[in-house]
């Protein structure tokens, strides 16, 4: 079955610094979703990538999907305390009948 591996598992950065979170799939992705979660709450949708080489940005967050559609990265520029939380990648695989799985998450802390 398909698995998603995120790295790093946790990250502490100084405010204003850039950072990158990676998500690697064991199989080709049909769709890759990035979410943010505050502890004990539901998930907030950030972006969805579907085409190989696709890149999307929202405010200071940029996500990319590689050409082979097996790896995605999430990049935050000039981090702020409001960026703190848990970032999760989720994916639909080909011929998986709508099964949508998630990575184990990356916990981000931003020091003021």
Residues that bind another protein (CB under 8 A): 1, 4, 6, 31, 33, 35, 40-43, 45, 48, 88, 90, 92, 97-105, 107
d(CA 110, CA 112): 6
**Token couple for 103:** 């990575």
Q: Taking the complex as a whole, how short is the minimal distance between the CB of residue 103 and another protein, in angstroms?
A: 5
When the beta carbons of 30 and 77 are compared against another protein, the nearer one is 30
Q: Taking the complex as a whole, how short is the minimal distance between the CB of residue 78 and another protein, in angstroms?
A: 26
> Please, how many CA atoms are within 13 Å of residue 7, restricted to the half-sphere of its CB?
4
């Amino acid at each position: 079955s398909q698995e998603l591996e995120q790295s790093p598992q946790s990250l502490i950065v100084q405010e204003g610094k850039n950072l990158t979170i990676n998500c690697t799939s064991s199989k080709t992705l049909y769709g890759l979703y990035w979410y943010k979660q505050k502890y004990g709450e539901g998930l907030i949708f950030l972006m969805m990538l579907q085409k190989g080489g696709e890149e999307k940005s929202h405010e200071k967050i940029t996500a990319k999907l590689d050409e082979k559609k097996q790896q995605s990265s999430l990049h935050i520029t000039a981090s702020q305390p409001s960026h703190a939380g848990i970032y999760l990648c989720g994916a639909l695989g080909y011929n998986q009948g709508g099964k949508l799985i998630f990575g184990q998450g990356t916990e981000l802390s931003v020091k003021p």
